[in-house]
Amino acid sequence: MIRVDHLGMTYPGGVRALAPTNLEFHAGEFTVLLGPSGAGKSTLLRCLNLLIAPSSGTITSATLGELKGRRTIRRHRRSTAMVFQQHQLISRYTALDNVLMGRIGYQGVWRSLLPLPVRDKVFALACLERVGLIERALERVDRMSGGEQQRVGIARALAQKPKVVLADEPVASLDPATAQHVLSLLHRICKDENIAAIVSLHQVHFAKTFADRVIGLAQGRVVFDGPPGVLARTALERIYATKEGTVTQHDVEEARGAGLPLPQFLPLQTLS
């Protein structure tokens, strides 16, 4: 379990990306964050990993208590894996070496300068097997397709033996069929390992397929929190409501994907 109380983020320069928010995430729960660009999805994910320091509020983990102090934060990061849109792999390295990076957090500073133990390699190979890439273990990742690279990214996350996976638009740069495949893989692994997954997505239909819970964000606020079954048109309108004059092409595509014609966008201030 990971809980945030009054978690808020205002970036230097004054952009309030996240209004003070209370949320709880549970083991084995697959949560999808939905919302237009700029809604605060990445900010929430980065705060949960303390990649950025929130400007207000606290984060509490069931095992570590309130996350403060270097040691606690390091232990939290070790058990919290990230999957990124652009994979963040080291392109010249093999799939195996990239996955082994997921084990580094378990080594002390001195130990990490030495070759990793055989048991770490065996575990990394097992992670690659889980994502169907064992036979490509020694191939450089820059010779792989986008979908394969993201599967290496998932294997690297898994190598961390995480309790929580934070995925920031993990399938945004993939074609629809590959995106479906990669997401179902991520979903199955998180379910099998009882991992709390928090995944930001643009595609409402994927949220409906995979999420146990959808959190809708609009302009840094949670405007929906519930199972995808009750994610009705009104909720989608809330999530995708955009300030007049700031509707982007991207928003239009999202609205179309959600089955919302553009005229149904509501100015945020009309929402209760």
Name the residues that contact ligand ADP, by CB under 6 A: 11, 13, 15, 17, 35, 37-43
State the minimum distance, in angstroms, from the CB of residue 195 to ligand ADP: 21
Name which of 52 and 126 has its Cβ closer to ligand ADP: 52
Q: Alpha helix locations (H) across the chain?
A: 41-48, 70-78, 95-100, 118-130, 146-159, 176-192, 204-210, 233-240, 249-257
Residue from 157, 42, 176, 41 nearest 89 by CA? 157
Cβ atoms < 10 Å from Cβ of 14: 6
State the minimum distance, in angstroms, from the CB of residue 37 to ligand ADP: 4
Supply 147's token pair: 């979908």
Q: Name the DSSP class of 26.
A: -
Concatenating the DSSP letter of every residue in 34-101 gives E--TTSSHHHHHHHHTTSS--SEEEEEETTTEE--SHHHHHHHHHTEEEEETTTT--TTSBHHHHHHG
Name which of 33 and 100 has its Cβ closer to ligand ADP: 33
Residues contacting 110, CB < 8 A, separation 6+: none
Name which of 12 and 229 has its Cβ closer to ligand ADP: 12
State the minimum distance, in angstroms, from the CB of residue 10 to ligand ADP: 9
Name which of 41 and 151 has its Cβ closer to ligand ADP: 41
Distance CA 147, CA 175 (A): 9
Identify the three-state secondary structure at position 123: helix
State the minimum distance, in angstroms, from the CB of residue 56 to ligand ADP: 15
State the minimum distance, in angstroms, from the CB of residue 217 to ligand ADP: 6
State the minimum distance, in angstroms, from the CB of residue 244 to ligand ADP: 17
State the minimum distance, in angstroms, from the CB of residue 35 to ligand ADP: 5
Question: Between vectors from CA 8 to CA 102 and to CA 36, what angle results, nearest 5°?
Answer: 75
Name which of 46 and 136 has its Cβ closer to ligand ADP: 46
Name which of 15 and 90 has its Cβ closer to ligand ADP: 15
Name which of 38 and 105 has its Cβ closer to ligand ADP: 38
